[in-house]
Structure formats: C-alpha cells, structure tokens
Structure 1
Amino acid sequence: MGIATSYVLNELRLLRASLGLSQDDFGRRIGYSGSHVSSVETGGRPPTDGYMKAIDDQFQLKDRFGRMLRELGQLDTTPTWLREWIEFEQEATLLRWYEPAWIPGLLQTEAYARLTLAHSLLTADEIEHRVASRLRRQTTITGDKPVQLVAVVDVMALRRPMSGHPGLMAEQLAHLRKMAELPHVQILVVTEDAGVYPGLQGGFILANLGDGSVIAHLDHQVRAQILSDADDLATLQRTWEVVRGEALSRRQSLELIEETAQTWT
C-alpha cells in the first residue's frame, strides 16, 4: 500500500473516531455494512466514488473525501515505483535537479515528454499515463505554493535533435525560458567547455524536506531509486557542488537558451 493510499485510509479512520462511531454505526449512517467499513479501513477493499460520496453527504464534508479519491486515482496512473518520490517532491522546500541528457521533467512540454517516452518500450497507454503524470507533477513549481527549483542541464540537452522535430525543440526551449522567469526557478547550463565532469555519469535530484532532511532520486532505465543513506547523499551533494560550479551563471544560461532556441526555428 502506497503512502497516499495509507493517508486516505487513515483520514477515514480518524473521521470515524472523531465522531465516536463504531464501524457498524458508521456503516449504518452511510448505508454500508460494518464489515464493508472495516474492509475499506484496512485496505482490503478499495474506497469507491459512491462510498466517499456517502460519507461527504452524510457528514456535510463538501466533497472532502471525493476529492481525496480523485487525487488518489490520478496518482494511480503513475508507476508504483515513482509514487513515493512524487510525494517527497511535493513536500520539498528545495529541489536541486541535474540532467545530462534531457530537459528535467518538471520543465518539459507535453510534446517533448511524449516524444522522449515514445522511444521507450512502453505501450501507448503507458506512455499516455506517464505523460499525464509528468504534467501533473509540474504543479510542484506552478501551483499556489511552489517549491524552489534549481535545475542544471548539460548543453547537449538543449541541442539534441528530437527525431527531426525542430519545431518541438523550439517550443521546448521557449517554455524553458518562460519557466526560468519564475522567481523560484533557476535554470543553469553546463557548456562543452567543462569537458568531462562528474555529472556525466547520470542525472539525479536532491530534495530538501521540511524537517531539514535531504533525500535523493536516481532515475535508471527500468525504475527509479530513492536514496537516504548518509554516505550516498554526501556523494551526490559533492557531485552537485561540482556540477553547479561548472555551470554558467543564471543570466548567461538564459542567454544561451535563447540563442539555442533560434537554431531550432
């Protein structure tokens, strides 16, 4: 059971406890058996739209649990191995993201995201789910309470041809420039002048959480890996400092993005 599902079920249990109702009494109030309530609360039976609506209606909760279920349903289109990271991502106060090959997912256009996934071994439905999930994740930096993002990309991510789609890359770099204008977003570029540097071994994300801890994300060919080991984090943070030190300044990076965008028009 994922963190999001556990959260929803815990909220259901807390509601019932706050009302001082047994599972049988709670069930009678919403038109379900006590055994059904028990099965939902323990994860044996998934909550349905009807179940959540009955709770919201009976206790005048203004779609509170219906909304939770819809959000959980959206999360369920995301690969299981990525769900835990997305929740950390949403809780973060700072994301430090390095990518040597691609535009970071939080900064991708829909067309760019779809094309990068089209060259994978995913089915058409899986690609659409991944694209939808990636676009929803972008509210992390575009929502009402956006997280601070510092993204460092290798210049080849700006220059790599996308299967003969120059217009797609022009659109993507224009979007990148727009995102870079947000006060909480920094996009920095490492140029060829850096030569061979440690970051070329692979991309990663460091997330600073509200409790002061740091957690990392590595994206491999098959699945992602979340790291919390102190030694691993120390290594990645040292790599981040080297990578950021090799990058152009914010102003210089934006100029390079604009110049490169012109080559795709």
Structure 2
Amino acid sequence: MAAELKQLRENGGLNTIQAARRLGMSPATLNRSETGRRMATVAEVSALLAIYGVTGPERRRIMNMAEEHAIDGWWEANRRTTLLYALAQFEQQATAITAYAPMIIPGLLQTPDYARNIIQQEPFSEEEVERRVAMRLGRQNVLARTPTLRYHAILDEAALRRPFGGRYAMADQVRWIIDAVKVGRATVTVIPFKHGGYEASSSFSVLEFPRLPRLVYVEAAEASGFLDASEDTDGGPRRIGKMMKLALNSADSVDFMSKVVADHERS
C-alpha cells in the first residue's frame, strides 16, 4: 500500500508537500504513509485518490486494498501510538459510538473547565495538562459529523452530580450536555439513582465501523485499553442493552438534567 501511494502521487505529478497541503496533513505524515512507517486510514486513501485523479477500476482496486489492509492491520498499527491518539483516530473512523459513564462525563461531552479539572487529578505539569485538554477538546470535532456519526452516551446520575470544579462549573457542564442534545450532536440517556444497583463496570465505549470489526475501549483508573476479540466486544452491546432498560428516554433525560442544573446552582 505504501509503495502504491507513492507511485500514484508521482504519477499525478505532485511532490510530497503539494499532496500533503491538498489533503490537509503534514508532509512528514504523508511521507511516513508512503514509507510504511504509518498506516493511512481508508478515508485518507480515498481523499488521496481523488487528489491524484485516480478513478474507475484502478480506484476500486486501491480502495479494496486499503480496506483489507485496515482490517488486517488496524489494531497493530494503532498499538504503536498512545492510547489517546489511537482512540481519537478510531473515533474519526467510527459511524456509531455508544459510551457508558458511571462517574465521569465522557470526554466527547466535557467542557474545557471540566476536562481540565479531571486531568489535574493526575500529577501532570501545567503544560501537559493544557496539552491533554486541547487534545480532548479536539476529539469533540467528531460530533460535528452528525448524521454521519451517531453518538449516544449513557450516564449514571452520579456522573451528573459529582461537582468536579465546583457546583457552578458542574452546572455549566450539564448545561453543555443538554445543548449538545438539543442541536442534535448527541443522544444522552440517564440512569437515575432510583433504580438502585445494577450490573455496572468501568467507563467504556463501543465503536462501530462500516467495514471494520467492532471495538470496545475500556477506561479505568488502573488501566485502559482496547478490546477487539469477538468474545470481548460482543459483551459491550449486551451490557448497553441492559442499561437502556433502566435509563430514562432521551426527552425525559433532558428534563432530568435540567433539574440537576438547578440543583447545582442552588446548592
């Protein structure tokens, strides 16, 4: 695949800088894709073929190769990056993401203040904190892809009640979630305390792709990582199905969150 991409660029009469500029990536990143040190995503290959003017049977051949390459190597290629970078890459490729959060608001729905307060719980330098906040906020751009991406967050009431950053900051955070729902960027359902205990787990997200296998990202204090074996990834949707039976519907969840905002503001 790497050699094919390089040959197609040269056939199109473009140098690395010109092609990278048209695609919106750095020349160094494109160079790594052409030398096999990085796996180009299916979306990137599709864009490059358009830039290089590749059409018809040749385009179909290259796209089939890219998709097969992605299926065979998607996990190993991303294992070499940090978990957060890999997660951001997978979120960009996903067509559906369902997240469960028992204690902390999912990263794709966090305000800057909330994200900063969460990240500051770790002994990071101020510079590293701001870098991680910026990366987390950058990941949220995927929510602008609606209806291409369907994002659904299932929140335990505890995640809405715990006032990270103080009660006013938390009121802003919950209001931020309500706004995301109202503009159609996300679907959010809440499991209220009144249901008592239920089979729960650490925070996790189930990511679905058009042609790639389902992936589950598990986030815990002790360790975080991806599950890609079918016996592991099949369990995510089953747990989500059970939680959905306990959760309020979307409209009732918005009403519930509005009451939580009021509680934070007067507490």
TM-score range, shorter chain: 0.7 to 0.9
Give the C-alpha shift of residue 103 in structure 1. Answer: 1.0
Change beyond 3 A, Cα 1:195–1:93:
same
The 3-state SS of whatever aligns with 2:26 is helix
Change beyond 3 A, Cα 1:224–1:18:
farther
Give the C-alpha shift of residue 157 in structure 1. Answer: 0.8
Pick aligned residue for 1:157 from 156, 159, 183: 159
1:73-131 CA-partner distances (Å, limit 9, x unpaired): xxxxxx71222222111111110100001111111110110011111122222211111
* Contact 1:140–1:146, Cα closer than 8 Å, also in 2: no
Matches of 1:218 and 1:10, distance apart in 2 = 35
1:225 paired to 2:225: yes
* Contact 2:146–2:184, Cα closer than 8 Å, also in 1: no
Matches of 1:208 and 1:144, distance apart in 2 = 15
Equivalent position of 1:168 in the other structure: 169
Matches of 2:234 and 2:125, distance apart in 1 = 37
Equivalent position of 1:36 in the other structure: none
Give the C-alpha shift of residue 183 in structure 1. Answer: 2.9
1:53-74 CA-partner distances (Å, limit 9, x unpaired): xx32xxxx58226x301996xx
Query: What is the RMSD computed on CA atoms of the aligned residues?
Result: 2.8
Equivalent position of 1:63 in the other structure: 21
Equivalent position of 1:178 in the other structure: 179
Provide structure 2 residue ranges, at least 5 long, that are not aligned to the other structure: 30-80
Structure having the higher Rg? 1
1:135 paired to 2:128: no
Equivalent position of 2:43 in the other structure: none
Q: Which amino acid aligns with 1:124?
A: E
* Contact 1:139–1:146, Cα closer than 8 Å, also in 2: no
Matches of 1:176 and 1:71, distance apart in 2 = 37
* Contact 2:218–2:224, Cα closer than 8 Å, also in 1: yes
Matches of 2:150 and 2:172, distance apart in 1 = 23
Please give the residue correspondences for 1:64-143 in structure 2 after superposition, counting only pairs within 5 Å.
64=22, 67-69=24-26, 80-143=82-145
| Identity, % of aligned positions | 26
Equivalent position of 2:62 in the other structure: none
Equivalent position of 1:263 in the other structure: 263
Equivalent position of 1:193 in the other structure: 194
Worse-matched range after superposition: 122-131 or 9-18? 9-18
Change beyond 3 A, Cα 1:102–1:94:
same
Matches of 1:135 and 1:116, distance apart in 2 = 13
Provide structure 1 residue ranges, at least 5 long, that are not aligned to the other structure: 1-6, 21-25, 31-51, 73-78
1:125-161 CA-partner distances (Å, limit 9, x unpaired): 2211111111010011024765111110000111112
Please give the residue correspondences for 1:3-82 in structure 2 after superposition, counting only pairs within 5 Å.
13-19=6-12, 55-56=17-18, 61=19, 63-64=21-22, 67-69=24-26, 80-82=82-84
* Contact 1:81–1:223, Cα closer than 8 Å, also in 2: no
* Contact 1:95–1:208, Cα closer than 8 Å, also in 2: yes
Matches of 1:145 and 1:256, distance apart in 2 = 25
* Contact 2:20–2:27, Cα closer than 8 Å, also in 1: no
Give the C-alpha shift of residue 222 in structure 1. Answer: 5.5
Matches of 1:208 and 1:263, distance apart in 2 = 36
Give the C-alpha shift of residue 213 in structure 1. Answer: 2.9
Large movers: runs of 4+ above 3 Å: 9-12, 14-17, 143-146
1:249 paired to 2:207: no
